[in-house]
Amino acid sequence: MKALTFTGIESITFESIPDPELLEPADVIVKVKYCAICGSDLHVYHGRESGIDQHTAMGHEFTGEIVEIGKDVKHLKVGDTVISPFTTNCGQCFFCRSGLTSRCEKNQLFGWIENGKGLHGGQAEFVRVPLADSTLYRLPDDITFKDALLLGDVLSTGYYCAQQAGIKPADAHVVIGCGPVGLMAICSAVDLGAERVYAVDSVDERLNKAKEFGAIAVNIWATNPVELLKEHTHGRGADAVMDAVGSGSAGRLAYELVRPGGIISVVGVCTDLQLPFSPVEAYNKNITYKVGRCPARHYLEKLIPMVRSHKYDLASVFTHHFRLSEGVRGYDVFANRKEGCLKVLLEP
């Protein structure tokens, strides 16, 4: 089959790799309908996360049709169209039962093979899905493949970020970073009842989209967001800050924005060796700091009604659509924010 594979830092190759096969009785093979490039794929692309084997098929956002099933698969059949979260989940361990599916004891991340062990990703014509009954979700007839892609990662992660922030209608909320996850956090915060959401970014196109989703746009090059929030909150600062970037500078800004006793909710992946504020700084501000990988499978089904409502044009975050064979260009456009790119959709 054809796939987009990792072949070195800032090197993605469209090449042939072996077709996936059923390796366990609970596996299925999915023929990919659509896949996407995620911001976290760029951590591998830019070399900020090391360890992935060369010629690993990239990507963890995909939807498609089941074309082969293992003998132990009970709840899915050939021909089913499905949504996949970005990790596998057994549905039975302590973490799955408590809703933290991203920490399943049998968890694997799609698009990560290290020292020969792991899973190829969804930026390919086909993908093997282990633990299929508990990992995959059958696509409802009224949900588009594009919205399904968002449910499997970006929307779930944005909602998780907002939920961790403890949204209250009258509070002042801030989202740092108006990429796809940040935009989904804005939609989710508004959906959870937030009346004031400040969107902080430096890219006008992203800030315009944030305004469409109900946020107050703050261009960090034109306005000091810390001073602005203090002006709007009688000098206190934001009640909750949602960090969808994950960099050290974004983390420091989140700390400076949040009021004493406030919440910082982080879903952006930060590869720095330490937090951007000290333990004593956290102590002196009485902050609550929440961070971690979204349990996407747990949230996926819960967010179907939000998608069905059509209150937000969620799929509008897909600004670029390429064939899988054009995916190398897709990575270049996405990684370098060319042509106002927000998110790339790929179709085998």
The DSSP annotation for 53-77 comes to: PTTEEP-SEEEEEEEEE-TT--S--
Residues above pLDDT 70, as percent of the chain: 100
Question: How far does CA 141 lie from the centroid of its chain?
Answer: 23
| Superfamily per CATH, domain 158-291 | NAD(P)-binding Rossmann-like Domain (3.40.50.720)
What is the mean predicted confidence (pLDDT) over 176-204?
97
- On whether the CB atoms of residues 1 and 9 are closer than 8 A, the answer is no
pLDDT at 133: 98
pLDDT at 302: 94
pLDDT at 205: 92
What is the mean predicted confidence (pLDDT) over 124-137?
98
Question: Tell me, which fold does domain 2-153+296-347 have in CATH?
Answer: Quinone Oxidoreductase; Chain A, domain 1 (3.90.180)
The owner of tokens 């409802």 is 140
pLDDT at 149: 94
Please determine, for residue 49, whether its predicted confidence score (pLDDT) is greater than 80.
Answer: no
**Residue-averaged pLDDT of the chain:** 96
Please determine, for residue 229, whether its predicted confidence score (pLDDT) is greater than 90.
Answer: yes
- Lowest-confidence region among 39-43, 128-132, 324-328: 39-43
What is the mean predicted confidence (pLDDT) over 92-114?
96
Please determine, for residue 50, whether its predicted confidence score (pLDDT) is greater than 90.
Answer: no
Q: How many helices (H) and strands (E) does the chain have?
A: 13, 18
- Residue 96 gets the label, from left (phi > 0), alpha (psi -120 to 50) or beta, of alpha
pLDDT band at residue 296, thresholds of 50, 70 and 90? Answer: very high
Per-domain boundaries in the chain:
2-153+296-347, 158-291
The owner of tokens 């919205």 is 147
What is the mean predicted confidence (pLDDT) over 146-162?
96
pTM for this entry:
0.95
pLDDT at 270: 84
pLDDT band at residue 170, thresholds of 50, 70 and 90? Answer: very high
What is the mean predicted confidence (pLDDT) over 188-204?
97
